[in-house]
Amino acid sequence: MSGCHCNDTARTLSQAQDATRRRVLWTVLAINAALFIGEFSAGRWADSSALQADSLDSLGDAGVYALSLAVVGGSLRQRNGAAVVKGLLQGLFGLVVLAEVVRRLLFGAEPLAPLMAGAAAIALLANLTCFMLLMRFRGEDLNMRSVWLCSRNDLASNAGVIAAAGMVALTGRAWPDIAVGTLIAVLFLHTSWQVLREAWPGWRHPADSCPKETAP
């Protein structure tokens, strides 16, 4: 009887933890979806590679959080599979940002620095909120740790866009915006490699979590 009671207690605790994870993930998903719409619109208006790259980061994060929601409480292989998809998405967005940087090098004009800085500052505050909400999960499995990594990257991206806006305003040139856009792309690709390196083996060869029975 005591064994059954312990199992029931553990199951109840696990369900409560999963409910907390889902609540936090829904919150940060909504924040990042709103950020994508706002930042992408501002980035197009300001003709800023860095701001558009940052908006794609928010879109990628929203996708990452949706995937994490789908596998909360799932098997180890499901969680590693979700992490693989996240890694591939990060890599894809990195390539898209690099393509935008090349376009700006060939055809771009000086971006609107005040709009860049204002939009990035709002995004920084929003992503700081996400970062604080997700910090408690940074030591958990790869599924939850990967969402914290995304949030950490967001803060670096936002700070970079603000710095780029300041440099554009000081120099009157577009190169700081292009440089920060390139750095954000590199950050995407590095995160993609980091997540895939850890998630791929676990997805292809999941550890057997069930203890093997021994013959009497």
Of 24, 150, 133, 42, the closest CA to residue 86 belongs to 150
47 is written with which tokens?
């003709």
111, 48 in Cβ contact below 8 A? Answer: yes
Query: Cα separation of 154 and 169, whole Å?
Result: 23
Specify the pTM.
0.74
Cα–Cα distance, 214 to 50 (Å, whole number): 59
Percent of residues, the chain, with pLDDT higher than 70:
85
- The DSSP letter of residue 215 is P
Q: What is the tens place of the pLDDT at every residue in 114-149?
A: 998 999 999 999 999 999 998 887 777 666 777 787
Alpha carbons 53 and 156: distance in angstroms, whole number: 12
Domains, the chain: 19-204 (1.20.1510)
Q: What is the pLDDT of residues 29-57, one digit of tens each?
A: 999 999 999 999 998 898 888 888 888 88
In Å, what is the CA distance from 204 to each residue of 90, 144, 196, 207, 209? Answer: 20, 19, 11, 10, 15
CB–CB of 96/63 below 8 Å?
Answer: no
Residue 102 has φ and ψ, to the nearest 5°, of: -60, -40
Tens-digit pLDDT profile for residues 142-191: 667 777 877 887 888 889 889 989 998 998 888 888 898 898 889 889 88
Tokens 């591939």 map to which residue?
88
Q: What percent of the chain has pLDDT over 90?
A: 16
